[in-house]
Amino acid sequence: MLYNLHTHNYTANDNILEVVNRYPYEDIDVPYFSTGIHPWYIDVDKLDEHLTVIDARLAMDNCLALGECGLDKRIEMPMDEQQKVFEKQLVLAKKHQKPVILHCVAAYQEVIETKKRLNVDVPMVIHGFSKNSQVVRQLLDNGFYISFGKYLLRNPELSQVFVTVPNDKFFMETDTIEEGLEQVYEKAAAAKNISIEELRNIVSNNFKTVFKNG
């Protein structure tokens, strides 16, 4: 079994457990999903409605995580509004004791600070990581997990960053890329200089630890 931490494209592959992103205004049409308000799609007028949907969905057994949610400094939505929406969602994650899948762009210090200030006691996973070893070290030192996908395939230098991540702290994902999850696993196994089978076991153990499922 392969585990896909985060995807928007359900493939119905029996050999892959996919955590499919479903926004509050989307139907649940997949076996396992995560749900949250992405900073790109904050709708202030419908915020309470969307939070109510998220609250109800997080109570479902096949809702494995809150997310993706987070902070993004490269969009027009004001950071204080993003922060407010982010924090309201983290309260729900704590209430339901579900992990959090994070979208973070140029806001790592803010995400770390928020985790500390709200004393978030559920696992938090930065998805689609693309930064350097210094950022990864800060995240690991503050208890975050890291998920790799598109940028591991696109950026050769990221393999050196990936190698520094302890085996009990990472996940694999596809997000929206056309390549299959198998290609991400192949790239990751080559970077770590281990077999695909060993990598599968590592990610499987991480998934069971964080998601209490699978």
Q: Binding site for a divalent metal cation: what residues are annotated?
A: 68, 103, 127, 175
- What distance in Å separates the CA atoms of residue 214 and residue 204, rounded to the nearest whole number? 8
Cα→Cα distances 23→54, 82, 163, Å: 9, 16, 32
Cα→Cα distances 197→42, 46, 120, 128, 185, Å: 40, 45, 33, 22, 10
Cis ω on the peptide bond leading into residue 68 (within 30° of 0)? yes
- What distance in Å separates the CA atoms of residue 127 and residue 124, rounded to the nearest whole number? 9
- For residue 106, the SS3 value is coil
Do residues 7 and 18 lie in contact, with contact meaning Cβ atoms separated by under 8 Å? Answer: yes
Backbone angle region of 129, left / alpha / beta, with phi > 0 → left and psi within -120 to 50 → alpha: beta
The CB density around residue 154, as the number of other CB atoms within 10 Å, is 12
- Pseudo-torsion of CA 78, 68, 199, 163, nearest 10°? 10
- For residue 174, the SS3 value is coil
Q: Which residues are annotated as a binding site?
A: 68, 103, 127, 175
